[in-house]
Amino acid sequence: MRRRCLLALLLLPALLAGRMAAAEGVLNVYNWTDYIDPAVVERFERQAGIRVRYDVYDSLETLEGKLSAGRSGYDIVVPTSEPTFARLVKAGALRALDRERIPNWRNLDPRLMERVAKVDPGNRHGAIYLWGTVGLGIRLDRVRALWPEAPLDSLDLLLKPENAARLAGCGLAVMDSPTDVIPSVLQWLGRDPASADAGDLKAAEGTLLALRPHLRAIPGSGALVDMLATGEICVALTYSGDVIQAAARAREAGKGVEIGYAAPSGGAHLWFDMLAVPADAPNPAAAMAFIDFLLRPESMAAITGTVRYPNAVPASRPLLAEAVRDDPTIYPPEAALARAFVPGTPSQAAERARTRLWSRFRASR
């Protein structure tokens, strides 16, 4: 009995905090760095009368660690469909969305939602927020000057050791995300991107270790954008939208830094970031209202226009500036989407093996 009372006393502050947040009309959001139009958040606050507390992260590992610990205090999180969102769905860590409170659900592209339904049957736990590919951010002016015939549409540019050695002087980087990098390396090697085979993982590790001496940095997503935009690095393996953001910043700076994005011609890693609600969210009603607000075409157009990632609301496309709407690096052509792969969700054992692989890669020189 004493143990029950002690447990109740320990849990009481968290329970009270959650109830107070809901009563005060507070929505707690945990999203990627630089991944929304702040004006959209402000409009939601004004129209819904709900205050938004907004925290950010720059890796899936950070997000998953926070949610795995439980009682995160967040009402909205934005995990990538595979593997993080898939694992959270399977673990029962997410609340089923109340579609009656999300009438703008009808605006979602059913073809894209079908691609995430295999890890979330019936699309019960998430709505696509933004999506994109993993590929190369390239400082085109510098690379062309160094190597006019460089293979700009292939991971050969970075992953072949002789090519990395040739370009190392202008700065090479790989984003600090084994979840996103390892599948691309496996695909480049002709292996299954979701492979748990020890031989496949050893081959991927060998490729990364051969690259490691030539890397200037293994930064988080936010830092990598800055490094590309300033010209500190000339080739990086990262998210499509990060490269497009860096290119926009470089143009605004007007210092002659020309940044381009290339999805691997052999097939790029395709990902979807999902709007989801933790099972223990303090204010699920506000979360449903926020998701509904974001799925308005005008909201999604503003977000895509700001962060340069495509969204899953087709009715937003006519509202975008022509330079954004017709940019194939933002909205890839159908042929490129058909070649793209979704990497699957590795088993826990495979994930541990990948984490150890990544630690060795980071520590090596």
Average pLDDT estimate for 227-234: 96
Give 127-136 pLDDT, tens digit per residue: 999 999 999 9
HSE of 265 in the Cβ direction (CA atoms, 13 Å)? 6
DSSP string, 206-256: HHHHHHGGG-SB---HHHHHHHHHHTS-SEEEEEHHHHHHHHHHHHHHTSS
- The whole-angstrom separation of Cα 132 and Cα 53 is 26
Judge whether residue 326 has pLDDT over 50.
Answer: yes
Strands (E), 116-165: 127-139
Residue 125 · residue 94 · CB < 8 Å: yes
Q: Scan for tokens 């830092």, then name that residue.
A: 223
Q: Which two tokens stand for residue 237?
A: 């393996």
Q: Output the CATH code of domain 2-131+272-332.
A: 3.40.190.10
Q: Scan for tokens 């607000």, then name that residue.
A: 293
Using DSSP's 3-state secondary structure scheme, residue 296 falls into coil
- The whole-angstrom separation of Cα 145 and Cα 151 is 13
Angle, CA 143 vertex, CA 256 and CA 240 arms, to 5°: 80
Residue 358 · residue 205 · CB < 8 Å: no
Q: Which two tokens stand for residue 73?
A: 């205090």
The mean pLDDT of the chain is: 91
Q: Which helix (H) or strand (E) holds 359?
A: helix 348-363
For the ranges 16-20, 49-53, 139-143, 179-183, the lowest mean pLDDT is seen at: 16-20
Taking CB atoms within 8 Å and a gap of at least 24, the contacts of 323-329 are: 327/244, 329/240, 329/243, 329/244, 329/260, 329/261, 329/263
Angle, CA 126 vertex, CA 123 and CA 130 arms, to 5°: 115
Residue 179 · residue 61 · CB < 8 Å: yes
Where are the domains positioned within the chain? 2-131+272-332, 133-270+342-363
Q: Output the CATH code of domain 133-270+342-363.
A: 3.40.190.10
Same CATH fold assignment for domains 2-131+272-332 and 133-270+342-363: yes
Position 11 confidence tier, pLDDT thresholds 50, 70, 90: very low
Judge whether residue 166 has pLDDT over 90.
Answer: yes
- The whole-angstrom separation of Cα 275 and Cα 40 is 15
